[in-house]
Amino acid sequence: MAIKQMLTEEMPASALVARVLEEAGIEMVFGISGGHTGRIVSGLSKYQNSIRTV
């Protein structure tokens, strides 16, 4: 089985999660901000035009 490199640059895990959600067509994410989720919410803020955080 061949391995395909999907990223060409380094990025924080939070930004990667947001990018994968956007590429998967996810339009809305539900959650409670704070604690350990703060970094993911921060990553999602850069995609606020395509992913709505509730």
Q: Per-residue confidence at 30, pLDDT binned at 50, 70, 90?
A: very high
Query: Could you tell me if residue 2 is inside a domain?
Result: no
% of the chain surpassing 70 pLDDT: 98
Query: Could you tell me if residue 5 is inside a domain?
Result: no
Query: Could you tell me if residue 36 is inside a domain?
Result: yes
Residue type, 7: L
Query: Could you tell me if residue 38 is inside a domain?
Result: yes
pLDDT at 4 over 90: no
Q: Per-residue confidence at 36, pLDDT binned at 50, 70, 90?
A: confident
Query: Could you tell me if residue 4 is inside a domain?
Result: no
What number of other Cβ atoms are within 10 A of residue 40's Cβ?
A: 19
Q: What is the pLDDT of residue 2?
A: 80
Domain range for 29 is 13-53
24-29 long-range contacts (CB < 8 A, ≥24 apart) are 26/51, 27/51, 27/52, 28/52, 28/53, 28/54, 29/53, 29/54
Query: Could you tell me if residue 6 is inside a domain?
Result: no
Query: Could you tell me if residue 27 is inside a domain?
Result: yes
Mean pLDDT score of the chain, rounded to an integer? 87
Query: Could you tell me if residue 3 is inside a domain?
Result: no
Q: State the total domains in the chain.
A: 1
